[in-house]
Homo-oligomer: A and B are copies of this chain.
Amino acid sequence: MQNIRTDLAVEAHELSRKQAKDAAEIDGVISEVEKMGDITVTRVEITNENGSEKLGKAKGTYVTIDAPDLKYSLETYEQTCVIIAEEIRNLAKINNDTLTLVVGLGNREITPDALGSSVVSKLLVTHHIKQQRDSDILGDNISGVCALAPGVLGTTGIETADIIKAVSEKVKPHLIIAVDALAAASVERVSNTIQISDAGIQPGAGVGNNREGLNEETTGTKVIAIGVPTVIDAATISKVKIPDEMTPLMVTTNDIDLVIERAAKTVANGINLALHHGITLRDVESYIG
């Protein structure tokens, strides 16, 4: 995979098979595809070290939801929210007593890296209400949710993983969901694809470039990572050598602001539906914000 950078397991799998001369199978990687109308759900499971090494990804399950019409169709948007909710609930048990900490990674000042903080701003946060005596107002099937968009190392001076671990030790959630912008290899996938994984976030992955991993091992808590590719690394497609000392270049589309807004809304409402089984998408959208 020389020079081709992708955070998507499904793309790493395709590239790996190509390099292996279209080998039908790679040992340690199981893949299945499900079509749901225009939406394609691919589940890649990396089961051993060989698979992990070949794909350059940690062991675990990677669910990829490809929804090419996400930016044109409300049906696709609504269906995608529901699929995200189901896939999260496949990866983690969630009930009334679950406390989830959602962390939005990335730099909110940089549009294609702002996905994580944008998702966090659209969540139905309930932890502080559930802690009050009169929290019955929330009704059944509303789990505890708290959220944080800590920023990036360059603006905080603190490793993002350290901030999350510190807050996690204080709040003691049962589940961490970490949302980040990703880089894809394929132009077609930018902002239409959602990857959900229980393998955590690896060092150096994502635009946010966290240097330490965020996973069950490092945090002591189950971690689900959700990512949306918002850029292609320029090195992936460039025919000219880009000077190393330069600010990294990113390839992006000119409607990226709007596209990220919809992708963030999709991921946020997928998470809202997963964590609060007692509400509908329409309930969530009734409240401004």
Contact assessment for B71 and A288 in the assembled complex, using a CB-CB cutoff below 8 Å: yes
Contact assessment for B111 and A257 in the assembled complex, using a CB-CB cutoff below 8 Å: yes
Q: Check if A206 is an interface residue, CB within 8 A of chain B.
A: no
Chain A stretch 138-178: residues in CB contact (< 8 A) with chain B: 144-151, 153-159, 162-163, 165-167, 169-171
Q: Check if A250 is an interface residue, CB within 8 A of chain B.
A: yes
Copies of this chain per assembly: 4
Chain A stretch 235-249: residues in CB contact (< 8 A) with chain B: 237-240, 242-243, 246-249
Which of chain B's residues have a CB closer than 8 A to the CB of A250?
A: 251-254
Contact assessment for A109 and B156 in the assembled complex, using a CB-CB cutoff below 8 Å: no
Contact assessment for A282 and B74 in the assembled complex, using a CB-CB cutoff below 8 Å: yes
Which of chain B's residues have a CB closer than 8 A to the CB of A150?
A: 148, 150
Say which one of A11-19, A48-56, A125-133, A196-204 lies at the interface with B: A125-133
Contact assessment for A286 and B74 in the assembled complex, using a CB-CB cutoff below 8 Å: yes
Contact assessment for B147 and A155 in the assembled complex, using a CB-CB cutoff below 8 Å: yes
A82 CA to B191 CA in the complex, in Å? 32
Q: Check if A98 is an interface residue, CB within 8 A of chain B.
A: no
**Contact status of A153 and B128, CB under 8 A, knowing A74-B286, A238-B239, A246-B187:** yes
A111 CA to B151 CA in the complex, in Å? 19
Contact assessment for A157 and B71 in the assembled complex, using a CB-CB cutoff below 8 Å: no
Q: Check if A113 is an interface residue, CB within 8 A of chain B.
A: yes
A257 CA to B107 CA in the complex, in Å? 12
Contact assessment for B254 and A248 in the assembled complex, using a CB-CB cutoff below 8 Å: yes
Which of chain B's residues have a CB closer than 8 A to the CB of A188?
A: 243, 246
Contact of A145 among B127, B157, B287 (CB under 8 A): B157
Distance between A203 CB and nearest chain B CB, rounded to angstroms = 15
Which of chain B's residues have a CB closer than 8 A to the CB of A167?
A: 158, 163, 166-167
Distance between A231 CB and nearest chain B CB, rounded to angstroms = 8
Say which one of A36-44, A85-93, A213-221, A258-266 lies at the interface with B: A258-266
Contact assessment for A157 and B128 in the assembled complex, using a CB-CB cutoff below 8 Å: yes
Task: Give A contacts to B, CB under 8 Å.
Answer: 71-74, 107, 109-113, 120-121, 125-129, 144-151, 153-159, 162-163, 165-167, 169-171, 187-188, 207, 232, 234, 237-240, 242-243, 246-259, 261-262, 282, 285-289
